[in-house]
Amino acid sequence: MLIRYRKNYEKIAMGLLSFMPTEKDLKKLQQTIKHYETNENWQLFLWKEEDDIIGIIGILLGDGQTAEIQHISVNPSHRHQGIGKQMVKELKELYPNYELKANEFTASFLDKCEL
Ligand SMILES: CC(C)(COP(=O)(O)OP(=O)(O)OC[C@H]1O[C@@H](n2cnc3c(N)ncnc32)[C@H](O)[C@@H]1OP(=O)(O)O)[C@@H](O)C(=O)NCCC(=O)NCCS
Would you say the pTM of this structure is higher than 0.95? yes
The DSSP code for 71 is: E
Secondary structure class of 41 (helix, strand, coil): coil
41, 59 contact by CB (below 8 A): no
Residue 44 belongs to domain with CATH number: 3.40.630.30
77 lines ligand 1 (CB under 6 A): no
The pLDDT tens digits for 38-73 are: 999 999 999 999 999 999 999 999 988 999 999 999
Secondary structure class of 109 (helix, strand, coil): helix
- Nearest Cα residue to atom 27 of ligand 1: 109
72 lines ligand 1 (CB under 6 A): yes
Query: Pairing relation of β-strands 99-102 and 66-74?
Result: parallel
Q: How far is the CA of 75 from the centre of ligand 1 (A)?
A: 11
Structurally, the chain folds into a number of domains equal to 1
**115 pLDDT tier (thresholds 50, 70, 90):** confident
Per-residue confidence (pLDDT) for residue 83, from 0 to 100 = 98
The pLDDT tens digits for 74-84 are: 999 999 999 99
Question: Could you list the residue range(s) of the whole structural domain that residue 8 is in?
Answer: 2-112
How many CB atoms sit inside 10 A of residue 97's CB?
Answer: 6
